[in-house]
Structure 1
Amino acid sequence: MTQLSMPSSLTTPASGTDHRVLDLERKARLVSGGDTFRTSPEPALGLFPIVCSDGPVGVRGERWDEADTALLLPCATALAASWDEELVARMGGLLAAEARRKGVHVVLAPTLNLHRSPLGGRNFECFSEDPLLTARIGAAYIGGVQALGVAATAKHYVANDSETERLTVDARVDERTLREVYLAPFEAAVRAGVWAVMSAYNRVNGTSMVEHPLLAEPLKGEWGFDGLVVSDWGSVREADGPGAAACDLSMPGPNPAWGPALAAAVRAGRVPAAALDDKVERLLRLAGRVGAFDPPPAGRAPVPADPATRGALRAAAVAGTVLLHNPDRLLPLDEPALRRVAVLGPNAATARVQGGGSASVFPAAPVSPLNGLRAALDPSVEVTHAPGVRTELRPTPLAAADCVLPDGSGPGVLVRYLAADGSPLHTEARATGRVLEPSADVDLTAVRTIEVASRFTAPSAGRWRLGVVGLGALRLEADGAVLLDEYVAPLSDDPTYLHVAPSFRQVELELAAGQGVDLLARRTVEPEHGRVLVLAADRPAAELEREFAHAVELAAAADVAVVVVGTTDEHESEGFDRAGLRLPGRQDELVEAVAAVNPRTVVVVNTGSPVLLPWRERVGAVLTCWFPGQEGGGALAEVLLGRAEPGGRLPTTWPDAEADCPVYATAPSGGRLAYAEGPHLGHRGWLRAGRTPAYWFGHGLGWGEWCYLALGEPSAPAADGSRTVRVALRNDGPRRSRETVQLYLSRPDSELDRPVRWLAGFGAVEAGPGERVEVELRLPQRALQHWSVEDRAWRTEPGTFVLHVGPHSGELPLAAALPVGA
């Protein structure tokens, strides 16, 4: 993996930099952002711009285009599914190296919000439904990123747990629940030394988070956070409230609501001068920590493609893969006995490796499940494929396999950026019909028209759906004939709308198999509508029907059928919540049909969040690979063939029915979203309701069979109030295996409203067949405490707690009493 040196400013921070040389206007400008991802420079202080980039699974940098690739890690849920802090810290180090490679100082991650409802559209970007697991994994992530002098950003502070009306929703959460559940991961982040925190778009109990008192207390006061609070992009809309509050930096910039307006508010006495000075001091402290007083590097190294880096990403994907169901030990597959393997499903040949929104990047060479298996199996094994069904909601960009440049010189599309007089400003060939930004430096303010042209050859006959994605005046021509000429207005003012779910238009054109047609898409550019333009073509409906039957035929003739089902960035994304938990399209029907003709069916669930699995008891094995990052296909092959053990345990509960979910709805009522369940979310809510899910929080199978033997007496409290607990186990399985041992607490007869049980600790152990081992688990003092609203302090209720230990929250075979004094 790439090794990088520490920036010089880490050892010589700018703590002595005197911002008093700046006048009021320059101070206000400094905390008001410079452009989309940069802060303003300040030559008088020797300060260069601080460069930010979205995360958390890759460092996109300042460009959002397929021509600017990046390493892509498994999604946050997959990282949390590893329950492995050391591994997550290593992934943080990879991100930091990517940030340094791209000249980025601040990674806008990790996301520490919780999986409150399985419908949360951005759950894949969050770690877990549980505050303790989220806190520990998040702290490890932060440590890994910041070890290389790149700032991590704990976001979105706080109660930003759904996407419906996300810019304005008012989350109504009681104080105790806030402290014990939703603030807990952020407190852990501060204790881990995080350098930046991002305030959320939403309101909490009536007040916008960009000006909420929670930014001062407990964040900067009780917890002692000495870093920078940055607003979520575009959330600062006026100077007085956020200026007087503890928000330090408004992004993006320049922001007319701050800058001169903030200086005027200070001059008029509406914002204290000391508040502005504190913001400037915090920004300069961050600049010193990340090296923004050093000149930016010249040029950029290529995306790392070395075996060590790829191996680390593949190992992370394996560690997060959760084997849900394997009753007859179909997995691992008997590789020497394989002669024909059918790899089916809509996510098999296309690498669905991430969710949508600002967290997405463009990986250089993502490995699909189909390609991963083909590369891993002996060439003598026949690997067949059919998608079976289609799940895409938006038009599919032209692919190089089906189109060539207008002059026939090579595959792809030709893109032209034109000035107002029609003269070309820039021309380039692209691999696909999706165009977001030019790959070279272009004066974007001069661009008035974008054109995408290509000759498309229909792979099959039928009425092909030709589409254009974009805003403003759109035009589509085929062989010179106008098929579409329309003005498309935006449907949302959400900052991510243009990239996440922009509007599109489609028309149908009858084409014979092998028939070529010259396509030209054009749009006029309006600054507020971005520059996205996509030229697309989708298969006829009749061909999709044939694909379904073909997939079933392949399954019937195979030794094993691997069906890869799931969602895409169209179904799970920033900007909207999911409408339901069923797999999109006819995927459930496909699984049922395949299992009916081949009992040796393995279903791979490729999603970022739980989905319903109505067929789970009728297939040979089920595992989830989440959104596994760029090396997901190779990782899946290693697991299926038994070369690696699926190491994951569920970081969130998987339901059997939508109606059983303790928290389901994400839509506010009258602009308010009531967190009426209090602390009883996730597995806590399932226990309180007395319902049994499909798979409990913490569930996951491997190659071992673990017998929990004994739970030792807890130790006396250490200086920090924590205790240790020893657990003895034995692996009765046929292979070496790793187990994640989980510790829960309960408090019978409590006078407080407590969860039935709550996660208090976890640790891992590894053993060979028949081997007995012990693991030591740490029980932190906070696990025994509750937040007293009356005392505004953490308190311990005297009496007897019960320790519970086992493989997941629904199976805890060991228990012991723990008397606790006042």
Structure 2
Amino acid sequence: MTFTSFDADVEEAIRTLPVADKVRLLSGSGLWFTQAEPRLGLPKITVSDGPVGVRGHRDTEAAGSVNLPSATCLASSWDRRLMARVGRLLAAEARRQEVDVVLGPTMNLHRSPLAGRNFECLSEDPLLTGELAAAYVDGIQAQGIGACPKHFVANEAETERTTVNNVLDEQTLHEVYLAPFERVVRQARPWMIMAAYNGVNGKAMTENPLTENPLKTEWGFEGAVVSDWHAVYSTVDSALSATDLAMPGPEKLWGDGLVDAISSGLVPEAVIDEKVRRLVTLGRRVEEGRRNGPATPEAGAAVAREAAAAGFVLLENPAGVLPLSPGDLTSIAVVGPSALDPRTQGGGSASVFPAYTVAPAEGLRARAGDGVRLTTVQGAWLSEGLREPRTAECHAPGQGEGSVRLTWRGPAGTVAEEYGPRTTLTRGTGAIPAGATAVDVETIFTPDVSGTWKLGFKGIGHASLEVDGDAMAGADSRDRYADIEAVLIGAPDESAGVDLTAGTPVHLTLRYAWHPQATLFRVGLAIDEPRESADREIAKAAAAAGAADVAVVMVGTSGAVESEGFDRTSLALPGRQDDLVRAVIEANPRTVVVVNAGAAVEMPWRNDAAAVLLVWFPGMEFGNALADVLFGDAEPGGHLPTTWPAALADAPVRDTRPRNGRLEYTERLDVGYRGWAKQARQTPQAAAPAYWLGHGLGYTTFAVEGFTLLGAAAPGDDVHTVLTVRNTGSRDGKYLAQIYADAPETDVDRPEFWLAGFATELIPAGEHRDIRVTLPGRSFQHWDAGRGWCGEETTFRIAPAGQAGNARAALAGPLAASIGPAATIRPMASIPPAATVRSAASSRPAASVPALDGMG
């Protein structure tokens, strides 16, 4: 399909451009750049990861990027306005890093809690994902920077991700997995869309007809379809598809072989011309964005801090121990592995290099003040592997904490010297001094305990570590230089045991050489302290907790458990963390458990804690945002964007592993909360989830006083509703309005119920607000393989509910309203007063509507 045409001179340039030159334009000129063509007015375009920050095309830890919270944390806000602010900040970061297109957001769904990349994806619900992604894309592109939603489509697991054939029926494909992409394309018009590694129904996505229809034909997508990196697997089939750009490049499969395929007639030149037109369109958008530039950006730290708090989910707070009052405290014990080595972001392509990270203890100490004694204890370890040195443990001579001295060397000797801010280097070729083939990384390390430490390194390449000039560990893995997953995610580590004395510094020198053909490397110092027995460490943490007014125990996942590149095998917290939590709770009943994980984990102690706060991977302002929420300076603004099982065995979808190359989506429409609802109906004795989609507590209370159905302007249009809510507490708070729908008499295969609309509103204490919630007309349609999107001659019920777990009762309750068949929804003017069901709720005490009232 030809979506546009240019003025005659550009069309003539496309027509007369030699075929080999056209083909050259269809793949990149390196990891992050496209090819330029002056004859077409096509500039060189720079793209960069990723969804929670902009790493920049130089791939250097020295640049410093704003590190925003993980997608799961951002989505927990359910806040379109916040997502647009995040997009604006990312655009400003892109401009600062000389980037034209941001590779994000990641829009795949949380089909299974075991999917390793769930932290990078927004939610389990297609409507929630599509709406938040559209706001994110709008925020970026309004500033003249492009967005590239990914990964199109059905890319919900990491196992065998480049070869798996995901098998879905048409209704499931359109209603669940294509739906969020359709919403973002129609609402936000992204400049690019990334085709996924996987296949769908027998065809790799870079060869799949879905990129033509519905993406380009039905939805009218005018941008360019780019492959995921190294996801072009053929010459002819991929060229004949609607994939426009192969990255990175030059892509050999789209080189001379494609020129020959065009010459022999296997690939029509007109197909190539259409790809070129789309790249020229992208180039024009980029040029216009460069001329206009983004508006004045908001402060990155402020947005990162606010976004983190807005996504923190207060799961439990039965006795109201939160928020804490500094005036009532003399001591706080902060224990657990995430207290000392917090995870601010997930691993893989979504990672960035923050200029700083506010550690939890640092943020809490600053907020609590000098009058409160704060102690920290390790308590447990996440793994047996090595960790990066902490900022306070090392410094280059004459430099600040965490710094290193870098000596870049070439065949003739020293090429350059500089100081770096981190003990792990990530460098692309553009960030390496000219002529350098190796680098020495030096720092002074000061241990805080005496004993045998493991000192070493992690990385792909030829490396050796010297301690005070003595060689201690070495390895050569340069032959793996082209394995980008190993370089970025799964690099090996090497170490040696060294006896050190607390407070006595040692000089560490890491000598490293990369493969000469490597376009990217990552290498860094890695250490591990002497460990007491697990029982002894837990006892120390419990003793510290017992001596404090309140204990904050911080647990979470490690990079070996939750990352791009592999799926999870368990939802249990790694190591002895569950034992640690139980011991701390027993020692101090005023224990707040802080969960630092990007996606679902099992929490067998959740009902015993005084409070449980989920902070996800919260970005560089972790400590400050945590202090804001624990001390009540900010609300825990989050509600779960995905349903959390109490135990993995209870989850409706557990298997992410293909069988004979196929992964069948046998649950069909029943993803996430829908699967839990179906499971509850079919097997009443089945276990319920620990927490449903939409669950989240706050520091105030709300009462729903009415629900009004306004109707739709025309058949198939959106349905408009108003939810009247009063803040019955003493604090301002954010209310999340969730409207669910069902069709009890339907003849169509539908979920038990589904999220039909949502909105957030800040309501001052004691006041009420009329919250307008729009339910997209698509919420009442279904996909028919022969006819496409269809209405149905049936009655739908809609109702507000505090979370998905209350939806079934709410839809049969006093606030439920009915609408006619999707094809014949009555216009607004004809909706009778009876459709307003406010009196049913407002005539009775707030406590009589438990499905709707509660914490914010």
TM-score (norm 2): 0.89
Aligned residue number for residue 504 of structure 1: 493
Cα separation, 2, equivalents of 1:663 and 1:81:
22
Deviations 1:332-351 (A, max 9, x none): 11332122122222112444
Distance 1:374-1:738 versus aligned 2 partners, 3 A rule = same
Aligned residue number for residue 144 of structure 2: 149
Aligned residue number for residue 577 of structure 2: 587
Is the contact between residue 355 and residue 568 of structure 1 (CA under 8 Å) also seen in structure 2? no
Aligned residue number for residue 252 of structure 1: 248
- How many Å apart are 1:453 and its aligned residue? 3.7
Cα separation, 2, equivalents of 1:640 and 1:658:
29
Aligned residue number for residue 324 of structure 1: 315
Between 359-368 and 371-380, report the one with greater CA deviation: 371-380
Q: How does 1:619-698 map to 2 (within 5 A)?
A: 619-690=609-680, 691-698=687-694
Is the contact between residue 59 and residue 431 of structure 2 (CA under 8 Å) also seen in structure 1? no
Is the contact between residue 652 and residue 679 of structure 2 (CA under 8 Å) also seen in structure 1? yes
Instruction: Note if 1:57 corresponds to 2:52.
Output: yes
SS of 1:582's equivalent in the other structure is coil
Aligned residue number for residue 329 of structure 2: 338
Aligned residue number for residue 5 of structure 1: none
| Identity in percent | 45
Cα separation, 1, equivalents of 2:631 and 2:355:
26
Is the contact between residue 203 and residue 209 of structure 1 (CA under 8 Å) also seen in structure 2? yes
Instruction: Note if 1:119 corresponds to 2:114.
Output: yes
Aligned residue number for residue 128 of structure 2: 133
Distance 1:541-1:225 versus aligned 2 partners, 3 A rule = same
Instruction: Note if 1:613 corresponds to 2:603.
Output: yes
SS of 1:669's equivalent in the other structure is coil
Is the contact between residue 452 and residue 522 of structure 1 (CA under 8 Å) also seen in structure 2? yes
Code of the residue aligned with 2:587 in structure 1: it is: V
Aligned residue number for residue 185 of structure 1: 180
Is the contact between residue 210 and residue 231 of structure 1 (CA under 8 Å) also seen in structure 2? yes
Deviations 1:488-513 (A, max 9, x none): 37779753320112111222223333
- How many Å apart are 1:353 and its aligned residue? 1.2
Instruction: Note if 1:45 corresponds to 2:40.
Output: yes
Instruction: Note if 1:483 corresponds to 2:472.
Output: yes
Cα separation, 2, equivalents of 1:16 and 1:615:
70
- How many Å apart are 1:673 and its aligned residue? 1.1
Residue-pair matches, total: 802
Q: How does 1:400-479 map to 2 (within 5 A)?
A: 401-403=392-394, 405=396, 412-419=403-410, 421=411, 423-437=413-427, 442=432, 446-479=435-468
Aligned residue number for residue 816 of structure 1: 817
- How many Å apart are 1:90 and its aligned residue? 1.0
Cα separation, 1, equivalents of 2:412 and 2:458:
22
SS of 2:150's equivalent in the other structure is strand
Aligned residue number for residue 8 of structure 1: none
Is the contact between residue 123 and residue 129 of structure 2 (CA under 8 Å) also seen in structure 1? yes
Deviations 1:422-463 (A, max 9, x none): 62233333344312228985456x544333344544332222
Cα separation, 1, equivalents of 2:135 and 2:370:
41
Aligned residue number for residue 370 of structure 2: 379
- How many Å apart are 1:410 and its aligned residue? 9.3
Distance 1:642-1:513 versus aligned 2 partners, 3 A rule = closer
Aligned residue number for residue 285 of structure 2: 289
Cα separation, 1, equivalents of 2:9 and 2:721:
46
Is the contact between residue 170 and residue 205 of structure 1 (CA under 8 Å) also seen in structure 2? yes
Cα separation, 1, equivalents of 2:790 and 2:524:
57
Cα separation, 2, equivalents of 1:532 and 1:16:
46
Unaligned runs of 5+ in 1: 1-12
Between 453-462 and 602-611, report the one with greater CA deviation: 453-462
Code of the residue aligned with 2:573 in structure 1: it is: L
Code of the residue aligned with 2:271 in structure 1: it is: A
SS of 2:338's equivalent in the other structure is coil
- How many Å apart are 1:184 and its aligned residue? 0.4
SS of 1:634's equivalent in the other structure is helix
Deviations 1:320-375 (A, max 9, x none): 11111111111111332122122222112444211111111011122222111122
Aligned residue number for residue 721 of structure 1: 717
Cα separation, 2, equivalents of 1:586 and 1:131:
36
TM-score (norm 1): 0.92
Is the contact between residue 349 and residue 371 of structure 1 (CA under 8 Å) also seen in structure 2? no
- How many Å apart are 1:771 and its aligned residue? 3.6
Distance 1:469-1:807 versus aligned 2 partners, 3 A rule = same
Deviations 1:371-401 (A, max 9, x none): 1112222322222222222225542234564
Between 199-208 and 435-444, report the one with greater CA deviation: 435-444
Instruction: Note if 1:733 corresponds to 2:724.
Output: no
Deviations 1:702-760 (A, max 9, x none): 12222333333452444762221222333333323221111111111322221111110
Code of the residue aligned with 1:513 in structure 2: it is: A
Q: How does 1:779-818 map to 2 (within 5 A)?
A: 779-791=775-787, 793-812=788-807, 813=810, 814-818=815-819
- How many Å apart are 1:770 and its aligned residue? 4.4
Cα separation, 1, equivalents of 2:394 and 2:67:
27
Is the contact between residue 374 and residue 383 of structure 1 (CA under 8 Å) also seen in structure 2? yes
Cα separation, 2, equivalents of 1:572 and 1:233:
21
Between 475-484 and 494-503, report the one with greater CA deviation: 475-484
Between 403-412 and 471-480, report the one with greater CA deviation: 403-412
Aligned residue number for residue 836 of structure 2: none
Cα separation, 2, equivalents of 1:293 and 1:136:
24
Q: How does 1:744-783 map to 2 (within 5 A)?
A: 744-783=740-779
Aligned residue number for residue 3 of structure 1: none
Distance 1:168-1:567 versus aligned 2 partners, 3 A rule = same
Cα separation, 2, equivalents of 1:286 and 1:254:
19
**Residue 241 of structure 1: which of 237, 242, 257 is its match?**
237
Q: RMSD between aligned alpha carbons?
A: 2.7
